[in-house]
Chain A
Amino acid sequence: MRFLALVFINLRRHRLRALIGVAGIGFGVAAMLTILSIVNGAIGMFERILAVDSQYLVFEKNVSDLFFSSVTDEQVAALRKLPQVALAQPLLFGLVSSGDRPIITCFGLEADNTRLAKARWIAGSQADFGKNPEGIWLGSRAAEFLNAKPGDRITVGNGDFVVAGIFATENGFEDGGVFLPLKTAQEFFEREGISSVVAIKLRHDSEGEAFKAAVAAAHPKLLALENREFNQGYTQFRILHLTAWAVGLCAFLLGGLGVANTMLLSVFGRIREIAVLRVCGFSQGQVAALIFGEAVAIAALGVALGLTLGYGALFALEHAPQFQGYVQAVVKPVMFVGIIVTALVTAVAGAIYPARFAARIQPAEALRYE
């Protein structure tokens, strides 16, 4: 029998307590994995909407949300004339309702927009985009939940439209959205001559700083950010990230308290036994190591359980029809490592007091304890 074997023997002997601790850590891991992956996925989808075939985004300064950003057609035209710009693609965001769906994202875009070229067309084609004055184009998920086929007449917001095309993209937001030609969308949302953002593709990657300087000089009310800068600095993304970590850490805190409780009960129930170990030559450090070892073993099993549950939950959410493909989980390696480290740290932190208590047990006193 080795020291590690004694750790597992102890867990086996107190298996119900151990299972409660494992479940606490497991649920924490599962919660954090699920929440962070979904948030990462959601942010990733939004990033991809903005960054199709582009390196920079231009939008109005000091707006709390891109839905409220206004870039005029004149500004778009001026951006197109900048020598660094190879391609400028304006995009207008709006929210509409249809049938029993209270919120559907509506995208207003020009017919030559790259995302239309990259889409897999199920009905219609990019060449026909915008040619039907009554037409609306649907993402494949939107077509599913609106139960709409090409040629059907549907009500979106206050307008009646004919479904002129359906296409699938790899992006859940786009797939669950509806698309209008930019001009139609501007009229529909009463934002004539306005776009929300402009995605910019540069002629050369090295011209980024020159482009930003040109935008700042010519359009002081606009802000040009590289996609990476935008993703890091956009307040909504940061709030989402922070919220996800906060919720995940709360879940871990509960898991940690579970481990602390489990280990404390375990120590209180073994005071005499720990005294016997001390009598047999165990040092205070060895007793503490035994308790920490049990906590780490609980955490390791909890991580295994949590990852299994978390991946299971993500699979279920990604495939649940109710979520219309909006859930596209992204598990980043850093996040994965962070969750495992957090689980271990939580378990060790939860075991500090029980280990200290166990190490300080006085053998003579404890052997009188019944």
Chain B
Amino acid sequence: MNPPLVVARDLTKAYDRGRVRVLDGVSLEIHAGEMVALWGASGSGKSTLLHLIGGLDLADAGELSVCGLDPRREDHRQDLRRHHLGFVFQLHNLIADLTVEENLRIPALADNRPPAETTARLRELAEAVGIAHRLDHRIQDISGGERQRTAICRALMNAPRLLLADEPTGALDETTGDTVFALLRTLVRERGVTIVLATHERRFAEQCDRMLRVRQGRIEAGE
């Protein structure tokens, strides 16, 4: 088995001054090349767990290592976001009045990558996810499925080892959702990207390599 990219031990997280406990002693390991589903109902804590892994939020207690880095440290968080992680959200979180291409250039801009290298990368990725013909379209002018594919493309721009997808099909119709999920699976197979997918849809969770059920802030058991 590949070495773990993510190692979490007894992670806890609470909001509202500790009154709302969202994660309660979560431990897990995710290995390189896996596609792991965090499956559970809304409010179960799966998105919070994903945010902790991505360094978007900090755990109150517990140990966490992602790609060998410590997300509690600002410099490590930045390194993670620039070089090791990609994010896909339920709401695509693209900048609506920029073009597809401008959105795709943002991660490279953060990392000061040469424009020529970025251009080659974004064209290759856009071709791979099927949005090459939309590069000069504004986000507001493309469909929901195309937006989510653009978001996936943006998440892959800096060639991350780990893709964190938070309900990526949640805002899409069934057919488009299937297409986006298939795209994510293809990425694992063809590019070796590790994916952690937070979803409330069992049919997608079941198609992943592993399914971790999240309930009331705990991981119950692997299925």
Interface residues of A (CB under 8 A from B): 1-3, 6, 9, 13, 272-273, 276-284, 286, 362-365, 367
Q: Which of B109-117, B124-132, B168-176, B205-213 contacts A (4 or more CB under 8 A)?
A: B109-117
Partner of B115, one of A2, A6, A286, A364: A2
Q: What separation, in Å, do the CA atoms of A3 and B102 have in the docked complex?
A: 11
With most chain A CB atoms within 10 A of its CB, the pick from B82, B109, B111, B154 is B109
Contact B56 A364 (CB under 8 A): yes
Interface of A is mostly: helix
Asked if B200 lies at the interface with its beta carbon under 8 angstroms from chain A, I say no
**Do residues A273 and B106 form an inter-chain contact, with CB atoms below 8 A?**
no
Total residues of chain B contacting the partner, CB 8 A: 27
Cα of A9 to Cα of B97 in the assembled complex, Å? 10
Instruction: Judge whether B110 and A276 touch: CB under 8 Å.
Output: no
The reply to whether A9 and B57 form a contact with Cβ atoms under 8 Å apart is no
Pick from B2-10, B37-45, B87-95 the stretch touching chain A: B87-95
Decide: A273 near B81, CB < 8 A? Known: A280-B110, A281-B158, A364-B51.
no
Q: How far is the CB of B165 from chain A (nearest CB, A)?
A: 13
CB atoms of A367 and B89 under 8 A apart: yes
| A1 and B51 form a contact (CB under 8 A) | no
In the bound complex, what is the Cα–Cα distance between A272 and B83 (angstroms)? Answer: 22
* Secondary structure type dominating chain B contacts: helix
Across the interface, which residues of B come within 8 angstroms of A272, CB to CB? Answer: 93
A2, B109: Cβ atoms under 8 Å?
A: yes
Contact present for A280 and B154 (CB under 8 Å): yes
Measured between beta carbons, the chain A residues less than 8 angstroms from B93 are 272, 276, 279, 367
Residues A364 and B109 in contact, CB atoms below 8 Å apart: no
Within 8 Å CB of A362, what residues of B?
A: 56-57
In this assembly, does B107 line the interface, its C-beta being within 8 Å of a C-beta of chain A?
yes
Enumerate 13 A-B pairs (CB-CB under 8 Å) in ascending A order.
A2-B115, A13-B97, A13-B98, A272-B93, A276-B106, A280-B107, A281-B82, A283-B78, A283-B110, A362-B56, A362-B57, A367-B56, A367-B89
Q: Which residues of B sit under 8 angstroms from A284, Cβ to Cβ?
A: 74
- Cα A280 to Cα B74 in complex, Å, equals 14
Name the one of B95, B97, B110 contacting A282, with C-beta atoms under 8 angstroms. B110
